[in-house]
Amino acid sequence: MLLKSFTKPLIGILCVSSLFAEVGMGPINPKFVQYQKEKERVHTFGASKIQTSSSSMETGWMPSPMTEEIHKSRQTNQTNTRKLGSSYPAKFDLSDPNLDHDRSDSLLTPVRNQANCGVCWAFAAYGAYEGQTKIDTLGSFDFSEQNLRYTNGTEWSNNDPCSGGNLPMVTAYLVRGDGPVSEHDDPYDLSPGNTYNPDAKAIRYVDNVLELPLRNFQAKTDIDYIKNVLYTLKKPLYVSLQVGFGTAGETGKSVWDSDTKSFYCNGKGDICQSNHAVVIVGWDDTYRAQGQTGAFILRNSWGSTWAGDGYFYVPYNDDSIALSGTIAYFEDWKDSQIHANKIYEYDTLPAVLGWGYTDATPMWGANKFTIEHDAVVTAVGFYARGSGTTYEIKLYQTMSGNGETIVFSGQLGSTQSSSSPIKRGWHTVKLTQPVSVVSGQSLIVQVKFSTPSGYSLPIEGDVSGYVDATYAPGESFWSSDGTNFQDVSDMMTDYIGDPNIAIKVLADEDQPGPVPSHTTLVPVLSYLLF
């Protein structure tokens, strides 16, 4: 039994009927289901790590319960026709911006070493995040993987902080305000009996963790959308892939070639599943490796001397990179953009599933909080479950009714809607009209989600061996019409244990009191920093 309190088959179950449509819980990632089954069959929990043939070269990436999203390629034929964008240079490298084969001018932070611990997922995430903060002149940071691997809160890490992980674990840890912690305050330590520093505090708040759809197997070289993030936005990319030491020409096993510093997996399909997380820093359309032309340039976490300088190549035609798992980047803004020092939330662990319709029919979610101190609400955070999501945010003061007739009233501030569709991932939205709240006041945050892929309402809940959530009635609510709400304990708990809706309120307790009437409007999407 994968989901706690799970009483019906998950895939395809629809549980609430209306006149023309039905509402239900979306499917869980089948790769995660298979991974859990294999783990239970072969090992007791936390007893194994995914690793290469060398014990000093650990991996540790694991699939997420989140269903994977596939890029809608512009190629219409079913062959792997080469299609490279003419609007981008043939070679681009954030780690060697002048392309002189000398990385002393790298735009990224130094390569780290995860050593004998399956925590690549944390090193890759911080490699991408540190690179973004340095490129955008927010500062040159060294964030603590030690604190992340110990305190992300999932059962995987609670049982063994070297047992592996994924990007949703990083996102949940960061957006609840627990990290990132400075490496200086909680240094990486694999000595016997090592632990973490419980007094270390977050030194930033990540505003957005944005995910790209995975590459399409039928058009693997249609990668302009990846190049756009690297070249136009200057964002290094977290990515999963398979690494290993298979025999040259072997199908389904990643092969290392030291001459070209490249991994390549020829799966002839989708059997080259990811086991490692690294950072894409650039590309070279002319690079030749293992019989292929054109390759991604990647930063590893096996030390600065591995493969010469810690970087390697993977051909575009590889059957694992960005084809299973995750590809994502961080978008953090300067402290002056917004100020907040209090997070109101119920979701502190990875959002794992979606509630709603099978199509883009809207779904509403809401959380009710009790304000602890006078403050100004400055932003709302939430997880968008698919590319092309649109949203509408409302704040209310009053809740009335019970059962299926809960309604909200006394709207505070103005309704705020997305100006354009947004990417999958975590978003922080700055309120164009901040709202003053006082201690003891009820505050209801309501968000309308419309996601083309369906099941748009992001849910945190129990998943055996992964997430052990908590919830209480009267906290989270959902609605299929935006007027009449139900508690998540009504029907949703038949499908997942301890559900919460992944919506947060961010407030500034340093400037309580009325918001000036001349408040300047700002762009819909802005970003939070403590």
Give the lowest-confidence range in 113-122, 227-236, 400-409: 400-409
Q: Quick: pLDDT tens for 216-240.
A: 988 888 999 999 999 999 999 999 9
CB atoms within 10 A of CB 144: 26
The model's pTM: 0.90
Residue 8 phi/psi, 5-degree rounding, is: -140, 160
155-176 average pLDDT score: 93
pLDDT in tens, 308-357: 999 999 999 999 999 988 999 999 998 888 889 999 999 999 977 899 99
The gap from C-alpha 364 to its chain's centroid, in whole angstroms, comes to: 21
What is the per-residue pLDDT for 87? 87
Q: Which residue has the higher pLDDT, 454 or 268?
A: 454
Distance between CA atoms of 23 and 157, rounded to whole angstroms? 33
What pLDDT digit, counting tens, does each position of 43-95 carry?
544 333 333 444 458 999 999 999 999 998 765 444 444 444 458 999 999 99
Dist CA 18 CA 11 (whole Å)? 20
**Cα end-to-end span (Å), the chain:** 41
339-508 belongs to which CATH class?
A: mainly beta
pLDDT number for residue 10: 35
Question: Does 396 score more than 90 pLDDT?
Answer: yes
Structure confidence by residue, pLDDT tens digits, 437-484: 999 999 999 999 999 999 999 999 999 889 999 999 999 999 999 999
User: What pLDDT was estimated at residue 75?
Assistant: 55
Give yes or no for residue 410 having a pLDDT over 60.
yes
Q: Is the pLDDT assigned to residue 500 strictly greater than 90?
A: yes
Domain boundaries, the chain: 53-72+79-331, 339-508
Residue 241: predicted pLDDT: 96
- Quick one: pLDDT at residue 114? 97
Burial class (CB in 10 A: 0-12, 13-18, 19+), 139: exposed
* pLDDT at residue 249, as a whole number: 76
pLDDT at position 225: 95
Q: Is pLDDT at 515 greater than 60 in this prediction?
A: no
pLDDT at position 522 is 31
The predicted pLDDT at position 523 comes to: 31
Q: Does domain 53-72+79-331 have CATH number 3.90.70.10?
A: yes
CA distance 320 to 265: 7
Dihedral pair phi/psi, residue 184, rounded to 5°:
-60, -35
Residues of the chain by 3-state class (helix, strand, coil), percent to 5? 15, 30, 55
220-231 CB burial, b ≥16 within 10 A, e <16:
bbbbebbbebbb
